[in-house]
Amino acid sequence: MRRHAALAALALLLLVGCARPARDDLYVLMPGADGKTGALTVDSAGKQAVLDQPYAAVRVKEPGQVAAGTITEQEARQAFGAALAAQPDRPLSFTLYFLEARDELTPDSRQILGRIVDELSRRPAPEIVVIGHTDRVGAVPYNDALSLRRAERVRDELVKVGVAPDRIRVEGRGEREPLVPTPDEVPEPRNRRVEISIR
């Protein structure tokens, strides 16, 4: 009798050990920082659900069982709080404008530079790319050099407030990538710029 009970217990243990673990997958479409939402398709064993609204959710407990619905922002934060907290800061972009034929910032852009410095102080190890541009007035070699001087000027301003120089990459693109396409020799203030990307 004991032998049969021991064999039955062993068979039960083997059966439990071979059983598939319970599944409870939750997919939630989170809105972006700007409030916009893309779309996500969840497919399980041929069954699909499309998530295209903020906090739309799908739960999959068994292959082919796709249960769609919604959850609240609080429920999403409770379910994914640790993962959300571990995400790096989102990349940021800024554009600064310059006076014609100079590497001097416009007064409005000087104020924006202060906001950039504030943002950098919240990031422990930022990666910064600074790309200078010009309008189409002047010769191409001159504009190449001017665009690089503009980028270097912004780098120097950031270094003055404590950003490590090795965290900043600078490039000059001259007149090759205008924000506003113009014929040659047309002065366009929006093309006299430096674009800053921060990750």
Report the predicted TM-score, pTM, of the whole model to 2 decimal places.
Answer: 0.65
Q: What is the pLDDT of residues 141-189, one digit of tens each?
A: 999 999 999 999 999 999 999 999 999 999 999 999 999 999 999 999 9
CATH number for domain 92-198, candidates 3.30.1330.60, 3.50.50.60, 3.40.50.2300, 3.90.550.10: 3.30.1330.60
**Angle (nearest 5°) at CA 77 between 34 and 30:** 35
**30 token code pair:** 């989170």
Could you tell me which residue, 72 or 5, shows the higher pLDDT? 72
Contacts of 15 (CB under 8 A, 6+ apart): none
Is the CB of residue 132 less than 8 Å from the CB of residue 185?
A: no
CA distance 188 to 199: 29
pLDDT at 9: 45
Phi (first) and psi of residue 130, to 5 degrees = -120, 115
CA distance 123 to 88: 9
pLDDT at 45: 85
DSSP result, 120-151: HHT-SS--EEEEE---S-S-HHHHHHHHHHHH
Alpha carbon distances (Å) from 125 to 89, 159, 160, 169: 11, 14, 17, 14
- Domain positions in the chain are 22-86, 92-198
CA distance 180 to 81: 42
CA distance 179 to 159: 27
Q: What is the pLDDT of residues 114-141, one digit of tens each?
A: 899 898 988 888 999 999 999 999 999 9
Could you tell me which residue, 177 or 32, shows the higher pLDDT? 177
Q: What is the pLDDT of residues 43-101, one digit of tens each?
A: 888 888 888 888 988 899 888 888 888 889 898 889 888 888 888 788 999 999 999 99
